[in-house]
Amino acid sequence: MMCVQFKVRKVIHFYYKGIMEIRSQDLVILLGSVTLCLYLYIKWIYNYWGRRNVPYLKPRFPFGNVEPIWATKLGFHQTIANIYKEFKTKGYKFGGAFTLLRPAFVPVNLDILKHIMIKDFQYFVDRGVYYNEETDPLSAHLFSIEGDKWRSLRTRLSPTFTSGKMKHMFQMVMDCGKGLEDEVQKLCKNKQPVDIKEIGALFTTNVIGSCAFGLECNCFENPNNEFRHHTREFFKGGIGRVTRNLVTLTFPSLCKKLGVIVFPEDTTKFYKDVVKNIVDYREANNVKRNDFVQLLLNIKNGDSSEGNAFTFDEIAAQAFVFFLAGFETSSSTMTFAFYEMAKDQEVQDKVREEIRRVVAKYDGKITYDGIMEMTYMSQVFDEALRKYPIVATLERIATKDYKVPDSDLTLKKGTKVLISLQGIHHDPEYFPNPEKFDPDRFSPENREKLHPCAYMPFGEGPRICIGLRFGIMQAKIGMAIMLKDYKYTLNRNNPDMELSSKAPLLAPKGDVLLHIEKVD
């Protein structure tokens, strides 16, 4: 009996061992097959431009032509600028690249770019920027939404950014300028290096708080107030932010299905609470104010012939993007301009002389008309945005098949287009000696010679930045206040400025320290 049991166990063990060996072999074959299919699929994707006879840069799995997230040194915008430069050097009118596994079309020729941005805009209405109205309501703002909804919203919001409206808002900005003037005077007395980047940020936060929300942020008295805290957190970048931006850029549809959240929950809650309190108070007390929220309220209550009234989330999203865009672009441009003027005292002296001359003409006051007459300061502002375009890469999506002019290439619907402003603005064909800061590039006679798409820091065509007049106005007011009676020089211990490789927009890395001194 024992002998029989032993033989049975032996037979069972033999068959079990055989089954496991077969399963192991099957598993190896299965894994090998999956790996091979995946390899062939990736190779097929990475030959996307090759199959279309488009010159392209050889991608590397899994990041394509962008840097590995953990080893980011250049940053996304400089990487795209380098791709533009390589295609330009080789004489290509356009080329192909890859962000992760997604093909991207990179235009180089400015005439082709003009078609994309202006002439054939109907093919490139959408930016392809990720947003999700359900899980991330603040992301569904004018900059990111698409199609007919964008057209309707753009039409309804445009009236608040006319030159007439800017004149009405001018005094509101000047009221915030008093705090800026007091702060500069105090910092000058301390005789310590000051972070010019933070000064500009505090000023523009006060301005946007007032002009958009009707609130006094008092950032100079309380630099860590909640508005400044949330904007600082939003723009500080980091590997997590770089990863999220790259994934949403490459797989927006998938991210939308997965309900990916871009904006931090505490930031969303803060801004929604702020807007709700303002809306509730104004509606309960019949309060009206000449600001951005009031325009949104008018539309919400049906005072518009265009489309349906706003929902609360739509109001919050538009107010939020107005705050972020108006704050960051103006403060960063001011930072870059002051840094360059600190390096070139001749340029700074010329701007100061112009400010004083114009202010004297208007009885010692900074006025709207006076700001419009400060042409050399405008050239400095333009050159700062030429050398440091805040939104350094523009994005578009082909909303339908599009034949690229003077070529055999047809871009398929859904193709991503990456336009490198950093590359174009630093192209020596359009701007000789591009690393030199030279405001004379934008003198009236020189500006007329520029191709319309050689310089477009606010974008171009129907999707040009809707708030550019306001952004320029507040930055110029800030510059006039800060430069009229004060001189700025580089910090001897820390004279160089470095750009961040992990920030979502083009921005300085760390503090930008300058010395301030009073001038007669």
Q: Per the omega criterion (within 30 degrees of 0), is the bond before 223 cis?
A: no
Q: What is the second-level CATH architecture of the domain 142-390+464-518?
A: Orthogonal Bundle (1.10)
Feature table: binding site for heme: 465
Q: What is the mean pLDDT of residues 371-381?
A: 97
Q: What is the pLDDT of residue 2?
A: 45
Residues 408, 404: Cα–Cα separation, whole Å: 7
Which residues 6+ apart lie within 8 Å of 77 measured at CB? 392, 393, 420, 422, 506
Q: Could you give the C-alpha distances from 36 to 46, 60, 340, 416, in angstroms and in order?
A: 15, 17, 54, 28
Q: What DSSP string describes 287-347?
A: ---SSHHHHHHHHHTT--SSSSPPPHHHHHHHHHHHHHHHHHHHHHHHHHHHHHHHH-HHH
Residues 450, 190: Cα–Cα separation, whole Å: 44
* Chain centroid offset of residue 153 CA: 20
Q: What is the pLDDT of residue 9?
A: 55
Q: Which of 55-59, 146-150, 235-239 has the highest mean pLDDT?
A: 55-59
The tokens describing 296, both together, are 């949104």
Q: Which of 23-27, 32-36, 193-197, 252-256 has the highest mean pLDDT?
A: 193-197
Q: What is the pLDDT of residue 4?
A: 45
Q: Give per-residue pLDDT as tens, 441-487.
A: 999 999 999 999 999 999 999 999 998 999 999 999 999 999 999 99
Q: What is the mean pLDDT of residues 241-264?
A: 81
Residues 342, 349: Cα–Cα separation, whole Å: 10
Q: Give per-residue pLDDT as tens, 62-84.
A: 889 998 866 778 889 999 999 99
Instruction: Establish how many alpha carbons lie within 13 A of residue 320's alpha carbon, considering only the half-sphere containing its beta carbon.
Output: 28
Q: Which of 7-11, 223-227, 369-373 has the highest mean pLDDT?
A: 369-373
Q: What is the mean pLDDT of residues 14-21?
A: 51
Percentage of the chain modeled with pLDDT above 70: 92
Q: What share of the chain is helix, strand, coil (3-state, %, to 5)?
A: 60, 10, 35
Q: Is it the case that residue 306 has pLDDT exceeding 70?
A: no
Q: Is it the case that residue 301 has pLDDT exceeding 90?
A: no
Q: What is the mean pLDDT of residues 19-40?
A: 70
Instruction: Establish how many alpha carbons lie within 13 A of residue 135's alpha carbon, considering only the half-sphere containing its beta carbon.
Output: 12
Q: What is the pLDDT of residue 332?
A: 92
Residues 216, 205: Cα–Cα separation, whole Å: 10
Which position has the higher pLDDT, 96 or 156?
96
Would you list the domain boundaries of the chain?
A: 142-390+464-518
Which position has the higher pLDDT, 12 or 155?
155
pLDDT band at 24 (very low <50, low <70, confident <90, very high): low
Which residues 6+ apart lie within 8 Å of 177 measured at CB? 203, 366, 477, 478, 481
Nearest to 74 by CA among 438, 407, 413, 500: 500
Q: What is the mean pLDDT of residues 122-140?
A: 91
Q: What is the mean pLDDT of residues 238-249?
A: 76
Which residues 6+ apart lie within 8 Å of 349 measured at CB? none
Q: Give per-residue pLDDT as tens, 347-367.
A: 999 999 999 999 999 999 999
The tokens describing 86, both together, are 């390589």
Q: What is the pLDDT of residue 188?
A: 94
Q: Which residues pair with 255 in a beta bridge?
A: none
Q: What is the pLDDT of residue 13?
A: 54
Feature table: binding site: 465
pLDDT band at 21 (very low <50, low <70, confident <90, very high): low
Instruction: Establish how many alpha carbons lie within 13 A of residue 385's alpha carbon, considering only the half-sphere containing its beta carbon.
Output: 23
Residues in the chain: 520
Amino acid at 366: I
Q: What's the pTM value of the predicted model, to 2 decimals?
A: 0.89
Q: Is it the case that residue 305 has pLDDT exceeding 50?
A: no
Q: Give per-residue pLDDT as tens, 257-273.
A: 888 888 778 888 888 89
Q: Which residues pair with 457 in a beta bridge?
A: 459
Burial bucket for residue 350 (CB in 10 Å: 0-12, 13-18, 19+): middle
Cβ atoms 197, 510 nearer than 8 A: no
Q: What is the mean pLDDT of residues 187-201?
A: 91
Mean pLDDT rounded to a whole number for the chain:
88
